[in-house]
Structure 1
Amino acid sequence: MRPPILIPRPETEHWVTKLAETVRPSTQKPISLLDLGTGSGCIPLLLCHLWPAGSVKAHAVDISPHALSLAQENAQRTGILPHSDHEKKPRNTFTTSMANLLAEDFPDTASRSNSPFDVITSNPPYIPWKEYLELPRSVSDFEDPKALFGGPSGLEFYHAISRLISRSDLLKPDGIVALEVGHDQADTVEALMRDTGRFRRTEVWLDPWGKQRTVIAQA
C-alpha cells in the first residue's frame, strides 16, 4: 500500500471471504468477475487467491492511474497474471482498465474483456459530504478523496451502479452483485438493486461488529 490509495479494511476482507464461500467456481466451471473502483485490487485479488486455480478471470476498473498501477503490482507480487496457459498450468487471471463509473460510456470502457460477468463487486466511495469533512486527518491526509467521497448523500456511485445494471448487459442473467455500504446505507442500496428489476433475491450481510456492511443481489 501507498498514499493516496484507499487502505483496505478488515470489514472488506470479511465479506469478500464470505463471498468466496458462497460462490464456488471451479476449473471445470470458471466464472468472470468485474470489480468497480478497485483501488489496490484487494477484492478481486483476494478472490483469485481463495478460489481454485483456473476458476476465475477477474477484471478491475478504476478512475485513478495510481490505483491501477498499485493493483497491477499487487497482482504480480501474488503471482496472479493477466493471462493463463491452461496447457501448462491453470491460473486465475487479473486484468485492469481505466474507466469512470459516472461517465456515459462506462459500460463500453468497463467491458473490454470477459463481459458479461458472473460476479460484479464494488467497495465504492460512500462517505457523504458532511461526514467527509469530519474525517480524522489520519484518513483525509493520506487517502484519495475520490476513493472516499460518494457525493452529497454518499449514494452517488450506488445510483450509477443500479443504472448500469438496469441498462446494460454487463451482468449475466444468473449473476450476483456484492456491494460494500456505509453507515445506514444498506436499506437504500438494497432497494436500488431491487428496483433494477434484475434480481430475484437480495440480502444484507453484517460485518464482524454487527453493522450492515454488504448488499448482495442475486439475479
Structure 2
Amino acid sequence: MPRCDPKHLLNTLSIVLGNEAAKQELKWMQQAIHPKSVTLQDMVARRVRGEPLQYILGTQPFGPLTLFTRPPVLIPRPETEHWSLTLADRLRPSPQKPISLLDLCTGSACIPLLLCHLSPPGSINACGVDISQDAISLARDNAAHCRIPLPEESSTPSTAESPLRNTFLPLLADIRSPDFLNSASLRRRLPFDVITSNPPYIPRADYDRLSPSVKDYEDIRALLGDPDPEIPSNNGLTFYHDIAKLLPDLLADDGLVAVEVGEGQAADVRWIFEQEGGLVDTEIWTDPWEKERVVLGHKKPQGSSKA
C-alpha cells in the first residue's frame, strides 16, 4: 500500500507545508492516532486540503492545559494564550477574596478555563457566553476535561472529601441582543469582578483576504468584527462598542476589563472603553511579537472623583 507509506505521506505534506513543518506535523498526527480513529492517510489528506491541524488532531495546548478543538469553533491562538497567562498573574484571587468572571464570546472557553486552572481552588466562579451552540457544547466538554465543574456541581458544602473548586458555567446568549441582560442565569450573577473577551474583530476587507484554512473552517461569527452587512464598515470595532455599552450593568465598581484587539485597533478600543464604557486607568499590552494586543481598564467606583 504505497500511498500509506510514511515517506509518501511526508512527501505529500512537504509539497504544501515545506519539509520541516511536514516532519513535525506528521509526527503529531502519528502521536494522535488511536484505535477507532481516522487513519494517518486520512489525516494527511485533510491537511493537504487546507484543514487546520488543530481540528485534525482534535486538541490544542493552551498554557498548561490541553483543550479539545472542533470545527467550526475558533481555535485558540498563541497571542490569546500569552495575555491570559499574564492576566492570571495580575489577578491572583484567593478563597478569602474570590472573584466572579465573565468571558464574552467565549468560544472554546480557553480564557476562563486557563484562569480557573491557574488560580487557587475556590477563588474563581467563571461564566462564558457565546452565540454559537457549537461553542457552548465545546466549552462544556473542555470544562469537564479540565475538571472545572459547573456551579451546581459544587453547590454542596466543602468537606475534606469535596474541597473548594473553581467553577465554570457556559451560557448560550447573544451579547448584541436587546434581551441579553434579561437572562436569569446572567442576572443572578451580576455584577462581575472581571470581564474578559476575545471578540470578533477582523474588518470585512481583511476577512475577505483570509487564508482558506481559516475562512473555510472557522465560524465567521467568531472572526468578522462588523457582522451587519447593511451597515458601513466599522473597522472591525462593532463588538467593542457593544461591550462598552454593557459594562455599566455587567461590571462591579473597580472591576477589571481585559479584551483582545486586532492589529492597529488598540488606541480606538481604549477610547471606546473610556468614552462609552466609563473605564479609567486603561492600559495596552503588547504580545510577544510586539503588537498591541490587549486593552485593559477599570470601572470607576461610584462616588469617586477619579478622572
Matches within 5 A, 1:168-183: 168-183=248-263
Partner residue, 2:121: 53
Amino acid at match of 1:124: P
Identify if the C-alpha distance between structure 1 residues 95 and 136 changes in structure 2 by more than 3 Å, giving closer, same or farther.
same
* Cα distance in 2 for residues equivalent to 1:113 and 1:61: 15
Matches within 5 A, 1:54-133: 54-83=122-151, 84=154, 85=156, 86-87=158-159, 88-109=162-183, 111-133=186-208
Partner residue, 2:269: 189
Deviation of 1:97 after TM superposition, in Å, equals 1.1
* Cα distance in 1 for residues equivalent to 2:87 and 2:209: 32
**Is the 1:59–1:113 Cα contact (8 Å) retained in structure 2?**
no
Partner residue, 1:12: 80
Deviation of 1:199 after TM superposition, in Å, equals 2.3
Partner residue, 2:99: 31
* Cα distance in 2 for residues equivalent to 1:182 and 1:161: 16
* Cα distance in 2 for residues equivalent to 1:115 and 1:146: 26
* Cα distance in 2 for residues equivalent to 1:69 and 1:25: 27
**Is the 1:178–1:216 Cα contact (8 Å) retained in structure 2?**
yes
What secondary structure is seen at the aligned counterpart in 2 of 1:169? Answer: helix
From 156, 159, 164, the equivalent of 2:241 is: 159
TM-score (norm 2): 0.69
**Is the 2:204–2:224 Cα contact (8 Å) retained in structure 1?**
yes
* Cα distance in 1 for residues equivalent to 2:211 and 2:106: 23
Kindly report the root-mean-square deviation, in angstroms, between the aligned alpha carbons of the 2 structures.
1.2
* Cα distance in 1 for residues equivalent to 2:225 and 2:180: 17
Deviation of 1:172 after TM superposition, in Å, equals 0.3
Structure 1: tracts of 5 or more residues without a match:
none
* Cα distance in 2 for residues equivalent to 1:123 and 1:74: 17
Per-residue CA deviation, residues 149-180 of structure 1 (Å, 9 max, x unaligned), is 01132111001001111xx4210001000000
Deviation of 1:111 after TM superposition, in Å, equals 1.9
Matches within 5 A, 1:198-217: 198-217=278-297
**Is the 2:244–2:277 Cα contact (8 Å) retained in structure 1?**
no
**Is the 1:59–1:95 Cα contact (8 Å) retained in structure 2?**
yes
Partner residue, 2:216: 141
Deviation of 1:91 after TM superposition, in Å, equals 0.3
**Is the 2:100–2:124 Cα contact (8 Å) retained in structure 1?**
yes
User: Among the aligned pairs, what percent are the same residue?
Assistant: 53
Pairs aligned (count) = 217
Deviation of 1:113 after TM superposition, in Å, equals 4.1
**Is the 1:111–1:170 Cα contact (8 Å) retained in structure 2?**
no
* Cα distance in 2 for residues equivalent to 1:126 and 1:200: 22
* Cα distance in 1 for residues equivalent to 2:182 and 2:101: 16
Larger RCO: 1 or 2 (CA < 8 Å, sep 6+): 1
Structure 2: tracts of 5 or more residues without a match:
1-68, 227-232, 300-307
TM-score (norm 1): 0.96
Segments ≥4 residues shifted beyond 4 Å? none
